[in-house]
């Protein structure tokens, strides 16, 4: 199977993760007017599952190092399989809240607040479990990113949004971040530390990713069905609404899931050389990418007071410096 050999390559992989995780939500904005995010989400999770299977039977089944996908799946312990699957379930709950927050508050709010909290929590959880890198630099980077989150929330409160809608968008972002910061640890715990010579019972990254994707897909029948019946905003939906969607809307949703999954795969593959804390933290630099999309491309703050732009620039600068410290920590 394909594995990463050097730390510098791992950093580049994390940058790919950053771009993918920060850009997939654009696909939701590219769908037809009236195509609700609850409907978009079904195609999104199908995209994740299909991409995981494709990767497992290509990069995960070629080469001489590690174990091929089917051989790895056959020897896996139930505990490892369960851990990767649970990671998908936890991620899915967090991501549904994030997608809802994007629909209410926009990319430039939901990502910096929700994913920023996930970054802080995820880096701390993963570093305490597997302390790889300079702890002081990692914690300094996390501190700067925490301040950036606060600045972004302040900027959002200055927009022309109604108070009730503004509060709901922030609350959903915070709840999403708290859950998002925990899912990565379950996937990492299912994998062997040495990808080239994986321990018996544990998973190679490709097998872990497939089980993770299965957790996302299966739990959607609970989480996404619930939000269709009791949506965060708008009227309730039925499954008939999904089948009345345009073919292009379904394709765009699948593309969105595939883009996100490519980022996830790069992050997992990079974690062996970079460490789970650094790999996850750098990938969550997606907040900067998403904020740039939201602020400068989709103009989500165009009605905000002029002083808001200063807060946003300082927020982005703190994110960039904080991420730089995470890179230098290794």
> Which pLDDT does position 163 carry in this prediction?
47
Give the span between the Cα atoms of 11 and 129, in whole angstroms: 21
> Which pLDDT does position 156 carry in this prediction?
67
> Which pLDDT does position 263 carry in this prediction?
94
| Helix, coil or strand: residue 186 | helix
Environment class of residue 243 by beta-carbon count within 10 Å: exposed (0-12), middle (13-18) or buried (19+)?
Answer: exposed
Instruction: Answer yes or no: are the C-beta atoms of 324 and 141 closer than 8 Å.
Output: yes
Give the span between the Cα atoms of 93 and 224, in whole angstroms: 9
In whole angstroms, what separates CA 294 from the centre of its chain? 17
> Which pLDDT does position 22 carry in this prediction?
83
> Which pLDDT does position 157 carry in this prediction?
67
> Which pLDDT does position 212 carry in this prediction?
98
Written as tens digits, the pLDDT of the chain (330 aa) is: 899 988 889 988 988 998 898 888 889 889 998 899 899 999 999 999 999 999 999 999 988 888 999 999 999 999 999 999 999 999 999 989 987 887 777 766 776 778 778 878 888 887 887 787 888 898 898 888 888 877 877 776 676 554 444 678 888 888 998 898 889 889 999 999 899 999 999 999 999 999 999 999 999 999 999 999 998 878 999 999 999 999 999 999 999 999 999 999 999 999 888 887 778 777 777 777 777 777 777 776 777 777 788 888 888 888 889 888 887 886
Furthest C-alpha separation in the chain: 59
From the DSSP assignment, how many helices (H) and strands (E) are in the chain? 15, 0
> Which pLDDT does position 145 carry in this prediction?
80
111's tokens: 């990502």
Query: Where exactly are the structural domains of the chain?
Result: 7-328
> Which pLDDT does position 66 carry in this prediction?
87
**C-alpha closest to that of 182 among 91, 250, 262:** 91
């Amino acid at each position: 199977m394909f594995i990463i050999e050097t730390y510098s390559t791992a950093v580049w992989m994390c940058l790919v993760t950053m771009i993918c995780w920060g850009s997939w939500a654009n696909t939701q904005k590219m769908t037809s007017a009236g195509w609700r995010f609850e409907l978009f989400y079904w195609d999104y999770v199908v995209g994740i599952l299909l991409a995981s299977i494709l990767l497992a039977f290509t990069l995960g089944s070629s080469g001489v190092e590690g174990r091929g996908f089917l051989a790895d799946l056959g020897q896996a312990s139930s505990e490892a399989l369960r851990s990767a699957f649970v990671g998908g379930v936890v991620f899915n709950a967090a991501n549904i809240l994030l997608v809802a927050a994007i629909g209410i508050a926009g990319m430039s709010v939901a990502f910096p607040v929700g994913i920023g909290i996930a970054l802080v929590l995820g880096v701390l959880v993963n570093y305490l479990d597997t302390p790889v890198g300079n702890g002081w630099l990692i914690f300094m980077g996390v501190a700067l990113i925490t301040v950036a989150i606060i600045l972004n929330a302040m900027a959002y409160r200055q927009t022309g949004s109604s108070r009730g809608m503004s509060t709901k968008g922030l609350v959903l972002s915070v709840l999403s971040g708290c859950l998002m910061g925990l899912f990565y640890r379950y996937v990492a715990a299912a994998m062997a530390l040495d990808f080239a010579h994986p321990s018996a019972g544990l998973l190679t990254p490709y097998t872990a990713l497939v089980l993770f994707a299965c957790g996302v897909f299966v739990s959607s029948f609970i989480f996404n069905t619930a939000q269709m019946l009791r949506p965060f905003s708008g009227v309730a939906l039925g499954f008939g609404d999904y089948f009345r969607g345009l073919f292009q809307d379904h394709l765009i949703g699948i593309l969105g899931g595939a883009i996100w999954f490519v980022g996830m795969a790069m992050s997992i593959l990079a974690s062996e050389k970079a460490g789970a804390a650094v790999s996850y933290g750098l990938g969550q630099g997606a907040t900067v990418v998403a904020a740039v999309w939201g602020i400068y491309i989709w103009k989500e703050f165009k009605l905000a007071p002029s002083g808001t732009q200063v807060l946003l620039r300082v927020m982005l600068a703190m994110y960039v410096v904080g991420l730089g410290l995470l890179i230098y920590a290794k």
